[in-house]
Amino acid sequence: KAGVTQTPRYLIKTRGQQVTLSCSPISGHRSVSWYQQTPGQGLQFLFEYFSETQRNKGNFPGRFSGRQFSNSRSEMNVSTLELGDSALYLCASSSNRGQETQYFGPGTRLLVL
């Protein structure tokens, strides 16, 4: 089985722009979660989607949003980028039958200038 894939792998944006990151889960997995990793804050949970519905949300401002499509692929959007949004964004998928392990993709490294 192919693993979780994320595109693009690297991205450079300027302040004020918006960005969309994409995540394709492992085949058969219906839950997709997003995490932000920064040197200062570590790994933080952004949100989780299952069957196109957001089920959990972390403590991030409304500039961070996401969605999930019927094929379980997910996108994450950050509007009005700030310098502090520079981070590694990791996507994870699980089959979510209740207590399933999350498997992570390689991440998208975003640099905001």
CA distance 84 to 67: 22
Site string for another protein, 82-111 (x = CB under 8 A): ------x-x-x-x-x-xxxxxxxxxx-x--
The DSSP call for residue 39 is T
- Chain position carrying tokens 């590694």: 88
User: Minimum distance between the CB of residue 16 and another protein, rounded to whole angstroms?
Assistant: 26
31 is a contact residue toward another protein (CB under 8 A): yes
Q: Output the CA–CA distances (angstroms, integers) from residue 60 to 6, 47, 65, 96, 97, in the order listed.
A: 21, 9, 9, 23, 26
34-93 binders of another protein (CB under 8 A):
35, 42-45, 48, 50, 55-56, 58, 88, 90, 92
Q: Which is nearer to another protein, 66 or 105 (CB)?
A: 105
Smallest gap from residue 88 Cβ to another protein (A): 6
Q: How far is the CB of 101 from another protein (least distance, A)?
A: 5
Contact 9, 108 (CB under 8 A): yes
Of 73, 67, 66, 71, give the one whose Cα is nearest residue 93. 73
Tell me which residues touch another protein (CB under 8 A): 31, 33, 35, 42-45, 48, 50, 55-56, 58, 88, 90, 92, 94, 96, 98-107, 109
